[in-house]
Structure 1
Amino acid sequence: MEKVRIFYFLLALNTAVVVSQEQVQNFGALKIHEGGSIGFHDNLINNGSFDENVGLAGFYSTDDLTISGAFRPIFKDAEIVVTNHLNLEVGVGITSNSNFIIGNVITPRNQLDITLEYFNNAFYTGETSQTKVDGYAALSNKQNFIFPTGIANKLRSIELNSNSTNSIAKAAYFSENPNTPSIFNKGFNTNVKSDILLRISTYEFWDLDSSVPSTVTLTWDSDSAISSVVDRIEDLRVVGWDTSEEIWVDLGNINFTGNTNSGSITSTTFLPSNYEIITFGESLSRESIQLDNYMVSPNNDGINDFFVLEAVALSPNNTLEIYNRWGRVVYREDNYKNLFSGKANTSFTVNKNIGLPDGIYFYVVDLKDLKMTHQGYLYLNN
């Protein structure tokens, strides 16, 4: 026998609602009026109009529930009490408040048009590691917002603070290695990075879509393994995969709190639409510079083919001089860009522009932006 379910709501005219044993289907023009409420204990299939609501929609189940259909329902207020999560197969809008009580709202990460979307002044309450959006959350007509994103039993919100109002923005969290993401059609090689970056996290990333210049604040916990990304927490940066250049770049650190086990970091202002994903990285800093002795073996094997001084990324205004054993300058370059491959370039060298002989050479680098000068040795092995 079919179980009886009771719904409390006020209907608009010309409404067709069918309650079956496992689902509720709307084929007409359903509307929750001011002060009204409706409780769904079964799946909702919305194939009609259900977007002018000014009351409360509640989703209640000790199992799981699904919202699907041809059209997106939009609720003023919603509360989620679903033990095994509320699954969205169509987008859902919120115009006032959503209250996370039990269970996650799950959206398919490979369908960006299916989101839990907050309009204008809408907000949410009750977000925890067990109650959040596992997938894509979205906003409309908002300037600032904290997306209640995460995965499974992990809340990993991302805060967006924009220079002006976003007509639309979306975000999702991925507990994945960016080199091998699950839903993107390519990987984001963490070894392909700008000179100023030393390491990129291989544990997690966020996808953020916005066309307004913004700052973002990311959070981390013990599972983020931040100690594997940075030696000094002060060198932590927000980094992004530049869509046009296809390289990881530094998006800055204007504020951070915490330690390697937990904390948050805020980027400088950037345009999110220029970056496919964002995560954590380590950047060079004056304190982290280590100038040492080096070996150069220009045999095109991809290992030590060039004399690479990471510090020049922090000081583009620099001068490098390399001396042979008799103290003669064999290579000199202003604004050095890590391109010395064992060939001389000075007029005092007979073998200019050809390979120098194997041996030990002395170098001096003047990092003018940092007001630092360093000297050391390099061993050339052709």
Structure 2
Amino acid sequence: MRKSIYLKLVFAPLFLGCTLLFAQEETQNFGALKIHESGAIGFHENLINNGSFDDNLGIAGFFNDDDLTISGAFRPIFNDVEIIVDNHLYLEIGVGIKNNSNFVIGNVVTPRNLLDINFDYINNAFYTGENNASKIDGYAAIANKQNFVFPIGNEFKIRPLELNSDALNSDAKAAYFYENPESPSTFNTSFNTENKDLILLRISAFEFWDLNSDVLSQVKLTWDTDSNIEEIVNEVKDLRVVGWNTEMQLWEDLGNTSFNGNFASGSLTSATFLPNNYSIITFGESLSTESIILDNFLLTANNDGINDFLVIDAIALSPNNRLQIYNRWGRVVYEENDYKNLFAGESNNNATISASEGLPDGVYYYIVNLFDIDITHQGYLYLSH
């Protein structure tokens, strides 16, 4: 049962220096409006704020069995807010909160293509009542906070992001997107899931978060069945927070310092990173000593872009390594310390064959020593031009 102490418009005590215009479906402020300490106001119509409305105590409520909109030239800042809107409370300007926002029913919706319009928690502000049907569908922001859990999601569910920073964030914001990062709706670029560090195997094609902060931080992300974690990793422990490096234009591993859960639901905490270096973040799979596969390889060195190089994924876990390739008579035809996956069928050993000369088609065998992870493996390589 919904309970409210508000009438259609209740002002207590008296507002000073304000000019209000009440239309059938909107309330406009043209003056200097203020809610005093014991004051309360309930909005059942759209609010258009074209005056001062940022020095408030008391409580403001938004109530409607449909949609409401907050717009105007100036951002209102409330002390306490209660939201009971059957559909959505749309923001066309930013809104600040100094104490508490109580989510009862209805999403606060911000335009995701306008990052300066957000629901902003200032200093010690907090929220209560967040749930799948009532949260911020768009960008939530914080000011002068070090740690915060952003109550964000899409229209149908909450998918919070927990931020734990090394220092106060003067300004940080986050939003959740249930979208393929390769075709985002409000970014002017694509985040190709094939452009990734060697240590990364797969990147989520189902969802991502946008986080803006200029302070070194850790994040905790959550997943559910719609995250399709089983399509990203074979083992949950190999899950990583990954980020699109804006400068390098590729996905990087941001770590897994702790995780909890299974394929259906869980949470994952990253290592420390600088969020503003990354356009978006999501889930990915990283190589681990348990997940690496050292096998036999096919090398077709014909420059067609497929199997042109001997690529040993486990090299990403051990830059300190040694590779040796032998022909059928046991002679070394190629050897290299700190191998970087660049063997394309040419010898570098003058003792057996002219260096840089293409090796003949056939079967070779290799030995790779991965010193950083204490693994030595021997396998076969079939070379064909």
Match of 1:105 in 2: 108
Q: Which moved more, 1:314-323 or 1:7-16?
A: 7-16
Q: Distance in 2 between matches of 1:63 and 1:362?
A: 70
Matched-pair contact (CA < 8 Å) for 1:11–1:30: no
Of 213, 219, 223, the match for 2:222: 219
Partner of 1:358: 361
Amino acid at match of 2:247: S
2:258 aligns with: 255
Question: What is the aligned partner in structure 1 of residue 274 from structure 2?
Answer: 271
Distance 1:181 1:370 in 2: 38
2:206 is the alignment partner of 1:203: yes
Task: Verify: 1:245 aligned to 2:254, yes or no.
Answer: no
Q: Retained in 1: the 8 A contact 2:366–2:381?
A: yes
Q: Equivalents in 2 of 1:300, 1:348: separation in Å?
A: 27
Matched, 1:94 2:97: yes
- Contact 2:16–2:34 (CA under 8 A) maintained in structure 1: no
CA deviation map 1:17-42 (0-9, x unaligned):
11110000000000000011000000
Partner amino acid for 1:141?
N
Q: Which residue of 2 aligns with 1:349?
A: 352
Report percent identity of matched pairs: 64
Is the CA contact (8 Å cut-off) linking 2:9 and 2:43 kept in structure 1? no
User: How far did 1:85 drift?
Assistant: 1.0
CA distance in 1, matches of 2:9, 2:310: 75
State the Cα deviation string for residues 241-266 of structure 1 (Å, max 9, x = none): 00110000000000000001000000
Match of 2:87 among 79, 84, 87: 84
> Greater CA deviation, 347-356 or 269-278?
347-356
Contact persistence 2:333–2:353 (CA under 8 A): no
**For the residues of structure 2 that align with 1:313 and 1:191, how far apart are their CA atoms?**
16
**Contact 1:289 1:311 survives alignment (8 Å):** yes
From 38, 44, 65, the counterpart of 1:35: 38
Q: What residue identity is the alignment partner of 1:309?
A: I
Tell me whether 350-359 or 252-261 shows the greater mean CA deviation: 350-359
CA distance in 2 between partners of 1:53 and 1:297 (Å): 71
Partner of 1:176: 179
Q: Are 2:306 and 1:303 equivalent residues in the alignment? A: yes
Q: Which residue of 2 aligns with 1:289?
A: 292
Assess if the C-alpha contact under 8 Å between 1:254 and 1:268 holds in 2.
yes
Q: CA deviation at 1:348?
A: 1.2
The Cα offsets for residues 90-131 of structure 1, whole Å up to 9 and x where unpaired, read as: 000000000000100000000000000000000000010110
Offset at 1:289? 1.1
For 2:373, what is the secondary structure of its paired residue? coil
Deviation at 1:6?
3.2
1:144 and 2:135 matched: no
Aligned counterpart in structure 2 of residue 72 of structure 1, from 66, 75, 83: 75
1:336 to 335, 339, 361: 339
Q: Does 1:62 align with 2:69?
A: no
Q: SS of 1:234's equivalent?
A: helix
Deviation string, structure 1 residues 329-359 (Cα, Å, up to 9, x no partner):
0100101110000011112133311211100
Counterpart-to-counterpart distance in 2, 1:110 and 1:335: 45
- The answer as to 2:382 corresponding to 1:379 is yes
Q: C-alpha distance in 1, partners of 2:323/2:12?
A: 77
1:337 aligns to what SS in structure 2?
Answer: coil
Matches within 5 A, 1:11-30: 11-30=14-33
CA deviations on 1:40-67 (whole Å, 9 max, x unpaired) are 0000000000000011000000011000
Letter of the 2:252 partner, please give it.
V
When the two structures are superposed, what TM-score results if normalisation uses the length of structure 2? Answer: 0.97
Normalised TM-score (structure 1): 0.98
Q: Distance in 2 between matches of 1:252 and 1:168?
A: 24
In structure 2, C-alpha distance between the alignment counterparts of 1:341 and 1:11, rounded to whole Å: 81
Q: Could you tell which deviates more after superposition, 109-118 or 297-306?
A: 297-306
| Structure 2 alignment gaps of length 5 or more | 1-6
Q: Aligned-pair distance for 1:11?
A: 4.0
Q: Distance in 1 between matches of 2:166 and 2:350?
A: 53
CA RMSD, Structure 1 to Structure 2 (Å): 0.9
Q: What letter is aligned with 1:226?
A: I
**Are 1:10 and 1:31, in contact at CA under 8 Å, matched by a contact in 2?**
no
- Unmatched 5+ residue regions in structure 1? none
CA distance in 2, matches of 1:36, 1:165: 32
Contact 1:308-1:338 at 8 Å conserved across structures = yes
AA aligned opposite 2:218: T
- 1:88 partner letter: L
The one-letter amino acid paired with 1:68 is S
Do 2:79 and 2:98's aligned partners in 1 also have CA atoms closer than 8 Å?
A: yes
